[in-house]
């Protein structure tokens, strides 16, 4: 059974329908990726799942319960946490204080400060530095760590590789093995198709607000993905 299930979702900005009949299924313990070009509707879809979008219709179910009309704080308390695009850290607070923000969710679980520092040892060394003084990759680790501190059941990651060097992206993605082994299910939003396909069990491609292709990465050809990504099929 799916842990998170989206069916026939439409999301509007005014009259503009940015998401059109989108769907996805996330099973417990699974990692899925949503790929697509700029403006395809990926962030709008994620925001809709956590109750941060405008008008929407369709079905969003989490753990068997309809969360489509629930407020963001209840969705967060139920265990869906976002790693937002652009990281959104408190730049003048220390790394540690940024991580501690995640405790506000009050969900007990395996993810403590010590566990986050074990996952990202560099953050332990930098714990008293202000977040604003860190490199982009280190800031991304803080953003992921803060989300883990909520002890999520589902982690929604919006473009975590954006603007980072390939080596840093590799370092960050390696940590997802530990994250999923701890029982967290993951939704990755990525423009980086290679990275997404390497990390995910199942991939959806979004184009102009809907799913233009889906499948297990090993079953999708490069030509299929390119056509679905750019709408040239």
We find the least distance from the C-beta atom of residue 199 to ligand ATP, in angstroms, to be 17
We find the least distance from the C-beta atom of residue 200 to ligand ATP, in angstroms, to be 17
- The verdict on 192 binding ligand ATP (CB under 6 A) reads no
Does the CA dihedral 87-229-199-164 come out positive or negative?
negative
Look up tokens 């979008």; give the residue: 53
- The verdict on 230 binding ligand ATP (CB under 6 A) reads no
**SS3 for 217?**
helix
Specify the DSSP element, H or E, that contains 213: strand 210-215
- The verdict on 38 binding ligand ATP (CB under 6 A) reads yes
Judged by beta carbon, residue 18 or residue 67, the one nearer ligand ATP is 18
What are the residue ranges of helices labelled H in the chain? 42-49, 72-78, 95-100, 113-119, 121-125, 136-148, 166-174, 176-181, 193-199, 222-230
We find the least distance from the C-beta atom of residue 28 to ligand ATP, in angstroms, to be 25
Question: Please, what is the Cα angle at 82 between 71 and 61, to 5 degrees?
Answer: 50
Residues 195-224 vs ligand ATP: string with x where CB under 6 A? ------------------------------
Judged by beta carbon, residue 99 or residue 196, the one nearer ligand ATP is 196
Contact 50, 77 (CB under 8 A): no
We find the least distance from the C-beta atom of residue 203 to ligand ATP, in angstroms, to be 15
Tell me the C-alpha distance between 99 and 93, whole Å. 10
Determine the interface stretch with ligand ATP among 10-18, 94-102, 115-123, 175-183 (rule: CB under 6 A): 10-18
Determine the interface stretch with ligand ATP among 22-30, 35-43, 65-73, 114-122 (rule: CB under 6 A): 35-43
Which residues in this chain contact ligand ATP in the complex, by CB under 6 A?
13, 16, 18, 36, 38-44
């Amino acid at each position: 059974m799916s842990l998170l299930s989206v069916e026939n979702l439409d999301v509007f900005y005014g009259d503009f329908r940015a998401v059109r009949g989108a769907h996805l299924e996330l099973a417990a313990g699974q990692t899925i990726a949503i790929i697509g070009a700029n403006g395809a509707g990926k962030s709008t879809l994620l925001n809709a799942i956590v109750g941060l979008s405008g008008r929407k219709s369709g079905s969003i179910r989490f753990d068997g319960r309809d969360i489509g009309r629930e407020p963001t704080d209840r969705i967060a308390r139920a265990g869906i946490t976002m790693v937002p695009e652009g990281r959104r850290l408190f730049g003048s607070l220390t790394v540690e204080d940024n991580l501690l923000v995640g405790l506000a969710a009050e969900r007990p679980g395996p993810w403590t400060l010590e566990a986050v520092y074990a996952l990202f040892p560099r953050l332990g060394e930098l714990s008293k530095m202000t977040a604003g003084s860190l490199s982009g990759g280190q800031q991304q680790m803080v953003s992921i760590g803060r989300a883990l501190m909520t002890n999520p059941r589902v982690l929604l990651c919006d473009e975590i590789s954006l603007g980072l060097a390939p080596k840093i992206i590799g370092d960050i993605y390696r940590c997802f093995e530990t994250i999923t082994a701890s029982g967290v299910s993951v939704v990755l939003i990525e423009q980086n198709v290679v990275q997404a396909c390497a990390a995910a069990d199942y991939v959806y491609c979004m184009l102009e607000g809907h799913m233009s292709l889906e499948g297990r990465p090993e079953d999708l050809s490069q030509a299929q993905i390119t056509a679905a990504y750019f709408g040239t099929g």
